[in-house]
Amino acid sequence: MTKTARSYISGFARGITEAISDSAFHCPSSMTARLRRKDHILEDLAEEFAVPEEEIKLVRAEDGLEDHLARIGWSREHAWNLNRRLGFVIGKPQELWFLEDDADILDEYSGYGKGNGPFYITEELFVAVYKEVALLFVIGNDE
């Protein structure tokens, strides 16, 4: 994949995720997406979270992106809309992964922990793997 294509996908995924999440959450929380390399997920996450790779343990979710978003309070319409719009550019997610025992990573990644995260308080992290890329979804708030 070219650098230009990666840049486009990164901006599109971040923009559409933030736009839809602003109306999907009924609280101060929001969600953003960060593009990651599908074949180097652990390496990229270790760099993103500033922790050694061995501290990152991923657990495969039994449900898909839409079901997970519905479980955290999104309407089915918002969840479907995000999945559909991302699908226009990167396809449908093949797998969904969560971090196991992520409390320390959430704290250290948060702005209050001087981390690299986009929010003052990071509430949840999960990774959706697509055909060519992976997206790190970050949920948090700045209150």
Question: Residue 21 corresponds to which amino acid?
Answer: S
For the four alpha carbons of 127, 134, 95 and 15, in that order, the dihedral sign comes to positive
This model's pTM is above 0.85: yes
Distance CA 33, CA 53 (A): 20
pLDDT digits (tens, 9 = 90+) for 89-133: 999 999 999 999 889 999 999 999 889 899 999 999 999 999 999
- Which tens digit of pLDDT belongs to each residue from 2-56? 999 999 999 999 999 999 998 888 778 899 999 999 999 999 999 999 999 999 9
Residue 129 CA to residue 115 CA, distance in Å, equals 24
pLDDT of residue 26: 75
Residue 101: what pLDDT?
85
